[in-house]
Amino acid sequence: MKKRRRDYLSYLLRLWRTGSEEDGVWLASLTNPFTGERLGFASLKELLAFLQSQVDEKASQASEEDRGGSEA
């Protein structure tokens, strides 16, 4: 059985600005190309926090697998 690649994440990123030039806000969405799931973010800070959590989760899963835990 082929082992799933555990160090890969893929999303389609969309960014757009709302409001005026002076007080506009950047919004973002991520779409998972495999599942079609779409997530929205009200700020770039939220987007980056989500991406960091995904990377941390993958790293944790990889560490568990390396120690002989269950495969994700």
pLDDT at 45 over 70: yes
Share of the chain above pLDDT 90, in %: 61
Query: What is the C-alpha to C-alpha distance for residues 28 and 12, in angstroms, rounded to an integer?
Result: 10
3-state SS, 39-61, equals EEECCHHHHHHHHHHHHHHHHHH
Give the pLDDT confidence score for residue 67 in this predicted structure. Answer: 73
pLDDT at 4 over 50: yes
Domain coordinates in residue numbering, the chain: 12-66
- Stretch 52-66: mean pLDDT: 83
Residues with Cβ within 8 Å of residue 50, at least 6 apart in sequence = 30, 39, 41
- Stretch 15-31: mean pLDDT: 94
pLDDT at 70 over 80: no
